Amino acid sequence: MRTETYQVKGMHCASCSSTIEKTFKKVEGVESVKVNYGTEKAKVSFDPSKTNPEALSRQIEPLGYSLLVPTAREMGMSVDEHAAHLGVNQSKKEKLAEVVDMRSKVVSAIPLAAVSIFIMSWDILARYNAAPVMGEVTSEFFHHLLPLMATYTLFVVGKPYLLGFYRFLRYGKANMDTLIGIGTLTAYLYSLAVTAFEEVLKPFIDVSVTYYDVTIIVITFIALGKYLEARSKLKTGDAIEKLLNLQAKTALVMRDGKEVEVGVGEVKHGDLIIIKPGAKIPVDGVVAEGSSFIDESMVTGESMPVQKKVGDTVVAATINTSGSFIFKATKVGSETLLAHIIQMVEDAQGSRAPIQALADKISSVFVPITLAIAFLTLGAWLSIGTGLLGFSQALSYGLVSFVGVLVIACPCALGLATPTAIIVGVGKGAKEGILIKDAATLEKLHKVDTVIVDKTGTITIGKPTLVDIQNMSNLKSDELISVLASLEKKSEHPIAHAIVNYAQERNINAESVTDFESIQGKGLKGVVNGVTYYVGNAKLIKDLGVSFDASKIDLFTAQGKTPVILATQDNVLGFVMVADEVKTESKQAIVDLHKLGIKVVMLTGDDEKAAKHMASLVGIDDVIAHVSPQDKLEKIKDLQSQGKVVAMAGDGVNDAPALAQADVGIAMGTGTDVAIETAGITLLGGDISKLVKAVKLSKLTMRGIKQNLFWAFIYNIVGIPLAAGLFYPIFGWLLSPVFAGFAMAMSSVSVVSNSLRIKAKTL
Ligand code: ADP
Ligand code: MG
């Protein structure tokens, strides 16, 4: 089974996505398919032995769509190829061409619509004696000009709508273009019949009234709306393009002892790359020689340049400041962090938010229901209306209502409401260093009322240092440290780094360790020179049953320091204290979370007193200490069963199960080694204040979506009965199809611009 995402060409409305989905599902070998109208992408899972993208594309071509099947594949591609692979630049070019074509058609139609509006207004004013009746010659001239203008508008500008009608007749597939096609064609054909057979029809109907102006104006408005919508939709997706443009085009590589400039696609693993002052880092790698400060803001959002020395990781797209250095390429092409970020943003923008389900359901049944309502309306006018107003008048009103209902009922705005806001929201997040996995996560985040934070690395910097040594044995202090460091060398915990670094700085030798075992949430054990040692917290010592006066460590833990106790099976040999600093931004972030009505709980495996001290420094409400990773999971389940919506922010390494259990898992990426896949949200640069921004972004996006849905529904709920003439008997209101066209165009335009507003808001 293969899963691929393709750009879809030719989609013009929300119901197109369900049409394409249904068509693909019928194809043998297709397991699942999701088509997103907002991003114009189709995600298809299929069996490559039974079908292929080209065959799939042929299935939808008669319906007016096609798949763009990329040819470039996998690693080591140039920027353009990479973009092509992601379906970004390529489709952007095509979309631009489409927008230019739409614009020229709209521009040609606007003068015609203006003339029609002028004639229409004159006629109305003359009827109320507010303007002189048009002279015979002028009137004849205009009334012959109208059919010509209507013919051009309908067949040239309105071609997509006529094609929609044609596809409906041919394949039975209706979409919103079909509705507009039927509506405007009806007005046109009726008017044409009146013009052609004026004398024959005169005894039956009012031949002084034609609807050419309706055809012209409605098509112009809708084409204008579609053009404005397409233009703004181009803007909603520009976050990805900006990310792509971050990529360096070339790299200066050492080949056979010489510096050679090669395309970034040609860089291979292990290549030594020379970085001069001000140069862009072309791929991911590790510094091999020299050092410099690098501006990583484009991938981490961190504005301060970061120092890089031999052994440090550098990532593609970041910019060197004034130093120069050489690094070894470790990740190229689609393996780089930037490529992962782009892929993730793309996927998230194309994913469907749960809130969209309702809109999808409605727009898929909308078209047939609208057609039915339109015909019912016409029928009602002809039957009931004829009795009250006479046939001629009833036919006239019936036609107006028929066209009006078809035009106003377009579910376009409904289909655009959610995806456009999601695209803008996810893109805005990416710019701030907030990577969102999918639309569902973004949606869930705004409901979060409890945030659980890990202490080490989330609230604190996560780089503890050894600050105190208490030797309680007859070993020399260096020997004690040697044993400790030997054991800690095997551990990944931040505490371990503190001890190993301390030993290394003082050139204290490490011994070899056997039977190493890590004890979850407590510490570790191992054998050095034939002796079994235990290293860990007070809980570990208590479990061992070794006597230890715990009050000895109280003095330190009260200051927020963490004890690491070394013991054998029988004795405590001593302990060291490690201390970590609170991140500068932590305190403000907690204040801001509180302002958003979110309770913050610190969950840590650390000592309770130490944890409480750290919590009080930053203003955290609640501390749960001495918990194992498994307990963290249980604690989250507990909160969830109390009806809390819980987000968990952690380092994503030993917190993975808890991150998965939380409603929203937030990984604190350190910028270079991001665990992108494990969490719903990754905060690049490991900055907790971004969590506040992420919550605000979620609230902003959800508010945008709700406003969009509200307006899209209101247009239809009020518009359809109004256009059908339901209020005519009561208030004498009958909506002109011209206004229906205007309203429908405005509804789409207002939804897309409302989504774009999210971009401008500060978080
Ligand atoms: P946290 O991520 O909150 O620190 P852990 O479950 O990773 O939680 O660790 C819990 C506690 O176990 C630590 O605070 C520390 O006291 C002890 N511990 C874990 N690993 C080590 C280690 N390698 N050396 C010493 N103590 C450790
Ligand atoms: Mg941890």
SS3 262: strand
Q: How far apart are CA 621 and CA 579, in angstroms?
A: 22
- Is residue 454 predicted with pLDDT exceeding 70? yes
Residues of the chain with pLDDT > 90: what percent?
A: 39
Assigned token pair, 382: 């002809």
pLDDT given at position 596: 95
pLDDT bin (cut points 50, 70, 90) of residue 73 is very low
Pocket test for ligand 1, best of 461, 516, 537, 577 (most atoms within 8 A of CB): 537
Confidence of residue 563 (pLDDT cuts 50, 70, 90): very high
- Cα(first)–Cα(last) distance of the chain, in Å? 41
Mean of all residue pLDDT scores within the chain = 86
> Which atom of ligand 1 lies at the shortest distance from residue 496's CA?
23
pLDDT at 716: 81
Atom 19 (ligand 1) nearest CA = 523
* 650 CA: nearest ligand 1 atom: 2
The packing angle between helices 737-760 and 689-724, to 10°, is 180
Query: Alpha carbon 69 to chain centroid distance?
Result: 23
Give the angle 509-510-515 at the CA atoms, nearest 5°. Answer: 165
Segment 251-257 mean pLDDT: 90
User: Which residues have C-beta atoms less than 6 Å from ligand 1?
Assistant: 454-456, 488, 491, 493, 495-496, 521-524, 535-537, 562, 564, 604-606, 628-629, 654
What average pLDDT does this structure show over 296-301? 73
Q: Which atom of ligand 1 is nearest to the CA of 493?
A: 23
Is residue 39 scored above 90 in pLDDT? no
725 pLDDT higher than 50: yes
**How close is the Cα of 562 to the center of ligand 1, in Å?**
9
Please, which pLDDT band fits residue 302 given cuts at 50, 70 and 90? Answer: low
Q: Which of 452, 460, 495 to mutate to test the pocket of ligand 1 (most atoms within 8 A of CB)?
A: 495
Place 672 in a pLDDT band, splitting at 50, 70 and 90.
very low
pLDDT score for 92: 65
Of 458, 493, 577, best ligand 1 pocket probe by most atoms within 8 Å of the beta carbon: 493
* Ligand approaching nearest to the C-alpha of 496: 1
- Rounded to the nearest 5 percent, the helix, strand and coil shares of the chain are 55, 20, 25
Which range is least confidently modeled, 157-166, 242-251, 387-396, 554-563?
A: 242-251
pLDDT over 90 at 650, yes or no: no
**Residues paired with 468 in a beta bridge:** 577
Handedness of CA 733, 736, 737, 740 (dihedral sign): negative
- How many residues can be counted in the chain? 763
Q: Render pLDDT for 93-143 as a digit per residue (tens, 0 to 9).
A: 677 888 898 899 999 999 999 999 888 888 888 878 888 887 888 888 888
Q: Count other C-beta atoms under 10 Å from residue 172's C-beta.
A: 7
Which pLDDT belongs to residue 72? 37
Nearest residue (by CA) to ligand 1, atom 25, is: 536
Rounded to whole angstroms, the Cα distance separating 370 from 581 reads 64
Atom of ligand 1 nearest to the CA of 488: 23
Q: Which ligand sits closest to the CA of 491?
A: 1
Kindly give the distance from the C-alpha atom of residue 522 to the centroid of ligand 1, in angstroms, as a whole number. Answer: 6
Sort strands 434-436 and 313-314 into parallel, antiparallel or unpaired.
Answer: unpaired
Q: Which of residues 358 and 319 earns the better pLDDT score?
A: 319
| Centroid of ligand 1 to alpha carbon of 539 (angstroms) | 11
pLDDT in tens, 584-624: 889 999 999 999 999 999 988 888 888 999 999 999 989 99
pLDDT reported for residue 206: 82
- Taking CA atoms, 576 is separated from 23, 51, 497, 553, 738, in Å, by 68, 64, 13, 10, 81
Cα–Cα dist 4/347, whole Å: 11
pLDDT at 247: 83
Per-residue pLDDT, averaged over 434-453, amounts to 93
Nearest CA, atom 10, ligand 1? 605
The answer on pLDDT for 74 being more than 50 is no
pLDDT value, residue 528: 94
Q: From the alpha carbon of 521, which atom of ligand 1 is closest?
A: 6
Cα 602 to ligand 1 centroid, rounded to whole Å: 15
- Give the C-alpha separation, 427 to 241, whole Å: 10
Candidates 451, 449, 447; CA nearest to 648 is 451
Report the 3 state secondary structure along 101-154. HHHHHHHHHHHHHHHHHHHHHHHHHHHCCCCCCCCHHHHHHHHHHHHHHHHHHH
485-519 tens-digit pLDDT? 999 999 888 899 999 999 999 999 989 999 999 99
CB atoms closer than 10 angstroms to residue 477: 14
Nearest CA to ligand 1 atom 21: 523
- How many other CB atoms are found less than 10 A from the CB of residue 686? 23
- List active site positions: 454
Integer Cα distance of 384 and 517 in angstroms:
87
Distance CA 570, CA 545 (A): 8
CA–centroid distance, 611 to ligand 1, in Å, is: 12
**15 pLDDT more than 60:** yes
Q: Which residues pair with 668 in a beta bridge?
A: 683
The whole-number pLDDT of residue 150 equals 95
**Residue of the CA atom closest to atom 7 of ligand 1:** 521
DSSP 198: H
Distance CA 206, CA 197 (A): 12
pLDDT band at 655; cut points 50, 70, 90: confident
> What pTM was estimated for this model as a whole?
0.77
pLDDT at 80 over 60: no
Question: Using CA positions, which residue lies closest to atom 24 of ligand 1?
Answer: 523
pLDDT digits (tens, 9 = 90+) for 673-710: 445 566 889 888 778 899 999 999 999 999 999 999 99
Distance 142 CA to ligand 2 centre (A): 80
* 133 CB-near residues (< 8 Å, 6+ apart): 126
Give the pLDDT mean for 432-460.
90
Give the DSSP H or E segment for 345. Answer: helix 337-350
Task: Tell me how far the alpha carbon of residue 654 lies from the centroid of ligand 1, in angstroms.
Answer: 10
- Closest of 596, 548, 577 to residue 698, by C-alpha: 596
pLDDT at 691: 93
Q: Are 406 and 652 in contact (CB under 8 A)?
A: no
Q: Which of 533, 553, 606, 651 to mutate to test the pocket of ligand 1 (most atoms within 8 A of CB)?
A: 606
On the question of pLDDT at 625 being above 80, the answer is: yes
Which ligand ends up closest to the CA of 603? Answer: 1
For atom 8 of ligand 1, the residue with the nearest CA is 605
Going from the Cα of 462 to the center of ligand 2, the distance in angstroms, rounded, reads 9
> Over the range 186-213, which residues count as b (16 or more CB within 10 Å of their CB) and which as e?
bbbebbbebbeeeeeeeeebebebbbbb
Tens digits of residue pLDDT in 177-227: 888 899 999 999 999 999 999 888 888 888 888 889 889 998 998 888 888
Among protein residues, the one whose CA lies closest to atom 16 of ligand 1? 537
Number of helices (H), then strands (E), in the chain: 28, 25
Q: Which ligand is nearest to the CA of 656?
A: 2
> What pLDDT is recorded for position 70?
60
Q: What is the pLDDT of residue 571?
A: 92
- SS3 at position 296: coil
